[in-house]
Structure 1
């Protein structure tokens, strides 16, 4: 009887430990994606783009080191936030990613869906230069490294649905917008790439 009780208590302890580990793992994942313009990650989650790999189940998880453009993910891995499991986001696919139509030089409302809000430094939006190489993975040299829109938060925690209105630069043809959400109380930021057409 005593032996059976010891096994039973051991089983409860192991079960409790497993539950703790299982419920704490998601906290390590990222927590937000852009849905206007729709990001590559969200296109994958929506099923409008196929063969995306793991990102289709967690479009909010492109979380990497903050400090862009001086720091952050390496060139060629910006869209995946430097995470190998999301490398499909870096593939230009010969221009096959769906592109949101924008009007050159006009105001546009950028939208994020945050599945878990964090104390925030800021949101910044970058765009590719005229004449950028559309067939190569996104690099700093392809981007205007001065953001065209910066929304400071000074440590505040944003709502789950975030909207920022700003003027998009004058452009023609196909471009990419890199949106960066920098977290104030961790060493990370969230990176979202959106394909757009002017």
Structure 2
């Protein structure tokens, strides 16, 4: 009798592990050009990041940004409290990618590509305060770049050209939003840049 109970417990444990490994727990994607906050945490450039250092691909939240999606002050974490360190402005001291207005190649890395509606990029307004958590009011009202993907599934690394907006100088934050076609979610990536 004891052997049957032990076998049942082991079997249930294996089923649970299989379910967890095939669910959203190990998903999905982030930007590395310009480098995102989650990538900086995962590669050890930034310390004291919490769980995001092991799951840079998991910043998933409700889609519909900017009308919907994560709440103000929680945009960089996708509204996911497990990754709240991404919303911490760190007194405006996140490492920043040097950029200039004009042509730029954006790049995403995926661990579990999904059918995709589009990729959208928003940038902060001139005069925003990098030492405060990001709000919608800090961002230009429209994306500076939208890349339609028509429900297709991207490869594990996806690069595309775009144009960084002019009329910017100093420190800014770019919010990349990867909108999933067949779920209610999107993935969020905040990238600190220096013009």
- TM-score normalised by the chain length of structure 1: 0.93
Q: Provide, for residues 111-153 of structure 1, a one-character-per-residue CA deviation record: whole Å limited to 9, x for no partner.
A: 0100001111111111101111212111100011311111111
Gaps of at least 5 residues in structure 1 are: 1-5
Taking the aligned partners of 1:51 and 1:75, their CA distance within structure 2 comes to 23
Equivalent pair of 2:109/2:156 in contact (CA under 8 Å): yes
Deviation of 1:23 after TM superposition, in Å, equals 2.6
Taking the aligned partners of 2:57 and 2:19, their CA distance within structure 1 comes to 17
Could you tell me which residue of structure 1 aligns to residue 116 of structure 2? 120
Moved over 3 A (4+): none
Deviation of 1:9 after TM superposition, in Å, equals 2.9
Could you tell me which residue of structure 1 aligns to residue 43 of structure 2? 46
Residues 56-71 of structure 1 mapped to structure 2, 5 A cutoff: 56-71=53-68
- Comparing 88-97 with 72-81, greater Cα deviation is found at 88-97
Could you tell me which residue of structure 2 aligns to residue 82 of structure 1? 79
Counterpart of 1:138 in 2: which secondary structure?
coil
RMSD of aligned Cα (Å): 1.1
Taking the aligned partners of 2:175 and 2:11, their CA distance within structure 1 comes to 42
Counterpart of 1:154 in 2: which secondary structure?
coil
Aligned to 1:15, which of 5, 10, 15? 10
Could you tell me which residue of structure 2 aligns to residue 140 of structure 1? 136
Could you tell me which residue of structure 2 aligns to residue 194 of structure 1? 191
Is residue 184 from structure 1 mapped to residue 169 from structure 2 by the alignment? no
Counterpart of 2:52 in 1: which secondary structure?
helix
Taking the aligned partners of 2:185 and 2:85, their CA distance within structure 1 comes to 21
- TM-score normalised by the chain length of structure 2: 0.95
Gaps of at least 5 residues in structure 2 are: none
Across the two proteins, how many residue pairs are aligned to each other?
A: 192
Equivalent pair of 2:91/2:132 in contact (CA under 8 Å): no
Deviation of 1:36 after TM superposition, in Å, equals 0.6
Q: Give the greater-gyration-radius structure (CA).
A: 1
Residues 143-158 of structure 1 mapped to structure 2, 5 A cutoff: 143-158=139-154
Q: Provide, for residues 26-71 of structure 1, a one-character-per-residue CA deviation record: whole Å limited to 9, x for no partner.
A: 4223400111111000000000000111101100010001110110
